[in-house]
């Protein structure tokens, strides 16, 4: 990993953590949570999702029980990211320090026994205690309807998604993949 890439990853991680800590202080607006369901039938006639698309992509992580999938969550109202991911059938685990803001595992991936190797050759095992290293982490991406993918500015628990939006949990190892491909 070049120093420029490492600095960019650190800057993105720091900015995301700052945004996450700020949103933890804001009031929740989920008092009238919509009823929605995970469904492939929520796809419109043109194959797009009429609700919220949830993508889990383990990227270059080489594992046997890969949870990568794309699921359309049928909803006609705003839905929180945590609700969309749960209704899509994924289970997330946060860290001890940031339980609702930093994603450590998706459907158990990466398991604590999974050896993650940094560009420097050092082995790392994710314990979910604190912020993951810049060399191996779940990134949270959001794409508004008819928009482009962008790094989420809030944690999954504060992320509000509207019908037509997409959210992606992308596992990045040593800077790759750097962003969603779809």
Residues 6+ apart with CB under 8 A from 133: 118, 124
Per-residue pLDDT band at 43 (split at 50, 70, 90) = low
Q: Closest Cα to residue 66, out of 38, 108, 94, 117?
A: 108
Quick: pLDDT tens for 97-106.
999 889 999 9
The residue whose two tokens read 């803001």 is 101
pLDDT at res. 100: 87
Q: How far is CA 138 from the centre of its chain?
A: 6
Q: Look at phi and psi of residue 157 and say left if phi exceeds 0, alpha if psi is from -120 to 50, else beta.
A: alpha
Quick: pLDDT tens for 114-153.
999 999 999 999 999 999 999 999 999 999 999 999 999 9
| C-alpha separations of 156 from 20, 40, 52, 153, 169 in Å | 9, 22, 14, 10, 10
* Half-sphere exposure (Cβ direction) of 103: Cα atoms closer than 13 Å: 30
Token output for 8: 């960019």
Length of the chain: 182
User: CA-CA distance, 73 to 75, in Å (whole number)?
Assistant: 6
Token output for 71: 């699921």
Quote the longest CA-to-CA distance of the chain. 49
pTM of structure: 0.77
User: CA-CA distance, 50 to 47, in Å (whole number)?
Assistant: 9
The residue whose two tokens read 């628990």 is 157
With pLDDT > 70 as the criterion, what percentage of the chain qualifies?
Answer: 75
User: CA-CA distance, 11 to 85, in Å (whole number)?
Assistant: 26
DSSP-derived letter for residue 173 is E
């Amino acid at each position: 990993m070049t120093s420029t890439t490492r600095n960019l990853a650190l800057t993105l991680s720091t900015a995301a953590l700052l945004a996450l800590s700020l949103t933890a202080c804001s009031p929740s607006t989920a008092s009238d949570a919509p009823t929605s369901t995970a469904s492939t039938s929520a796809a419109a006639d043109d194959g797009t999702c009429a609700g919220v698309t949830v993508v889990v992509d383990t990227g270059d992580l080489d594992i046997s029980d890969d949870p990568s999938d794309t699921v359309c969550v049928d909803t006609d109202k705003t839905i929180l990211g945590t609700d969309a991911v749960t209704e899509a059938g994924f289970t997330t685990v946060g860290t001890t320090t940031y339980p609702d803001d930093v994603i450590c595992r998706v459907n158990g991936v990466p398991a604590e026994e999974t050896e993650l190797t940094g560009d420097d050759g050092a082995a790392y095992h994710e314990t979910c205690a604190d912020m993951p290293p810049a060399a191996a982490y779940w990134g949270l991406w959001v794409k508004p309807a008819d928009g482009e993918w962008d790094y989420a500015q809030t944690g999954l628990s504060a992320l509000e998604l509207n019908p037509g939006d997409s959210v992606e949990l992308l596992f990045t190892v040593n800077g790759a993949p750097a962003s969603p491909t779809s």
